[in-house]
Amino acid sequence: MDAAIFRAHLENNLIPFWNRMEDKEHGGFYGYADSEGRPDPESVKACILNSRILWFYSASYNLLKKPELLKKADSAFEFLQNHFYDSRYGGVYWPVKADGIPDDTTKHTYNQAFAIYALAEYYMAGGSKEALNLAYSLYRVIEGRCRDEEGYFEAFSREFTPVSNEKLSENGVMAERTMNTLLHIVEAYTVLYKADGFYAVGDSIREILRIFKFKVFNPDKKICEVFFDKKYKPLIALESYGHDIEASWLIERACDVLGDKAYYEEMLPVIRELAEGAYDNGIDTANNAMNDENERGVVNAKKVWWVQAESVTGFYNAYQLQPDKDKYLKISEQVWEYIRKFVIDKKTGEWIEDIAPDNSVNEGQALVHPWKCPYHNGRMCIEMINRLSHTA
C-alpha cells in the first residue's frame, strides 16, 4: 500500500464530493443526497452527520493544511453552535430542519460524544476557544446527566429525562446501554484529551477502558458484546465484526494518547484478541472483505461501506502491533482492493453503502443521509496516510 493512493482518493474524490454538499443558503451541509449525489435542500440535518463533517474537514486540514478545508469546517461549526446546541438545557439535538429549526429535541449520549470529537479536532485545527469550551460543556453533560456509577445510558428528552433508545437499538432489542455509544465516547474523550490534556478527561478514559475490559469484552469469543440491559447483561447473541475491529484500534489509540503504560499493557490482550477474533470469524475469504455480522449463529454476508473502512485501518494497526503476523497486513491490503473495485462509486467518488453478498449493488442507495458520511472512509484515508508516511 502507498500513502499517495489514499491521499489521492481523499483529495480527488472525497473532499470534492463533500464540498458540493455545503448548504450556502441555510448554512452547514445538506442532510441527504441520492444515489447520483444530488442533494435535497429540504432534508433534515442530523447533528451526527454535521459533527462528522466538522471532524472530517478539521482532520483533513490538520493533515493537508489547505485553508479552504478550514473554511468548510468553520461552516459546520457555526451551524452546530447556532442550531444544534441547546443553550437552555445543554447538549445537542438529534436533527434540525433544513433551516436550523429543531425537528427532534432528543438528546442522545452518542450524539453528544460525536460533537465533542468534532469540536476537539476543530480546536486543534484552528485554535477556536469557543469550540473547546463547547466541547467541555458537552463533556460535563455526558458525565453529569447521561450516566450512573456503572456506566453510560443512551437516550434522553430535551430536559434529560431518560427515554427509550430506538436510535441505537437494533436486531429486535431495546438496549439500555450499548457498546457502540461507549466506544465513541472513549474516541471523543481521546481527541479531547489529546487537544487539551485535562486530567479529568484522562480519568474518564481510564474508567471507560475498565468497562470495556470487564463488562463489554467477551474473552471466550474474542468479541465485544453489543447490546446490554442496565446491568450489562447482553441482550442478544450478536457479533458485529466491524465494531470489533474498530474497537481494537480505537482502544489502542486511547491507550496511546493517555500515555499510561500500565493501562496500555493491561488493555493490550483485549486489543490483540479483538483483531484476532475479527480476522478469524469476520472475513469472507472468497472476496477478501469483511462480512457485516453474525446474529444467533447466522452470518450476514453483505459488505457494508464503513465495515470495510474500519477493516483497512484496524488490521493495519494490528500488523503494526504484531509485525510478525503479516496476515493482518495482507488482509488490510486486500480489503482496500475490494473497496476500490466494488465500494467506491465510479460516478461520484463517494462510497456505496451496501454491497450484496454476490458483490452486486442494489440501485438507489443514498450517498448522504444521517449515517452516511465522510467519517469512516475519510478517517481511513487520514489514518493510512499518516501510518504509511511514517513507515516509508
Q: What is the pLDDT of residues 264-287, one digit of tens each?
A: 999 999 999 999 999 999 999 999
Q: Are 314 and 275 within 8 A, CB to CB?
A: yes
Q: What pLDDT is recorded for position 15?
A: 98
Give yes or no for residue 391 having a pLDDT over 90: no
Q: What pLDDT is recorded for position 392?
A: 53
Residue 9 CA, chain-centre distance (Å), reads 19
For the ranges 39-48, 168-177, 224-233, 338-347, which has the lowest average pLDDT?
168-177
Question: What digits encode the pLDDT tens for the residues 296-335?
Answer: 999 999 999 999 999 999 999 999 999 999 999 999 999 9
The C-alpha angle 294, 297, 301, rounded to 5 degrees, equals 40
Give yes or no for residue 1 having a pLDDT over 90: no
258-294: buried (b, 16+ CB within 10 Å) or exposed (e) per residue? bebeebbeebeebbbbbbbbbbebbbbeebbbbbbbb
% of the chain with per-residue pLDDT over 70: 99
Give yes or no for residue 383 having a pLDDT over 80: yes
H helix runs in the chain, sequence order: 3-9, 15-19, 47-64, 67-79, 109-126, 129-145, 179-196, 199-211, 241-258, 261-282, 305-321, 326-338, 376-391
263 grid coordinates: 493501562
Res. 162 pLDDT band, cuts 50 70 90: very high
As a whole number, the mean pLDDT across the chain is: 97
Mean pLDDT computed over 117-138: 98
Separation of alpha carbons 360 and 345, rounded Å: 13
Segment 192-197 long-range contacts (CB within 8 Å, at least 24 positions apart): 192/116, 192/117, 192/120, 192/135, 192/136, 192/139, 193/257, 193/258, 194/120, 194/124, 194/257, 195/120, 195/121, 195/123, 195/124, 195/132, 195/135, 196/120, 196/123, 196/132
* CATH code of the region 3-391: 1.50.10.10
Residue 27: strand, helix, or coil: coil
% of the chain with per-residue pLDDT over 90: 97
Domain range list for the chain: 3-391
110 grid coordinates: 452518542
Give yes or no for residue 344 having a pLDDT over 80: yes
pTM for the predicted model, two decimal places:
0.97
Q: Are 192 and 200 within 8 A, CB to CB?
A: no
Question: What digits encode the pLDDT tens for the residues 29-86?
Answer: 999 999 999 999 999 999 999 999 999 999 999 999 999 999 999 999 999 999 999 9
